[in-house]
Structure 1
Amino acid sequence: MASDYSGWFVKYHVGLDGVVAAFPAIVHSYPEPFTTFCQDYYAFSMLSVIREEKEDQSLLLLNVSNKVVSYRFKDGT
């Protein structure tokens, strides 16, 4: 959020490909109405963003398949 609370901005972009590869059961599909296509979505919950003093050490905590998974922003591990 902007320092004057006037709006939001993107601080982190998280690619969850590694999480999906490690936990493929989080991918769910549902059929699009009136088509033969299926839309995928990921079943997970974001628990917290932990901001460290050094920005490159900050991480994201996710609940994935009833497990807590940490995701480091710097290297995607």
Structure 2
Amino acid sequence: MVNCDDSGSGKPSLRLVTKDTEAYWTTEDVAEFLRVSTKTVGRLRVKRGLPSVVLIDRTRRYSPAAIKAWVAAQEST
């Protein structure tokens, strides 16, 4: 959520407010975690349901918790 607040300067200032502090992973981060290529991460997302969270400026971001849960689910099948 973005709050606009006028600090008296005549210009609104933007401040990013987040509910949790978990940083999202990039495709490169996920590839490093899984020890695969970024191309394989893309294939896993499309064919095996690897969960991506959000697109930020055309860059896919992943929740570390969701990725770890997905890996655990793959291990149990």
Determine which structure has more spread, i.e. the larger CA radius of gyration: 2
Bigger helix share:
2
Q: What's the TM-score once normalised by structure 2's chain length?
A: 0.32
Q: With structure 1 as the length reference, what TM-score do the two structures score?
A: 0.32
Q: Which has the higher strand share?
A: 1
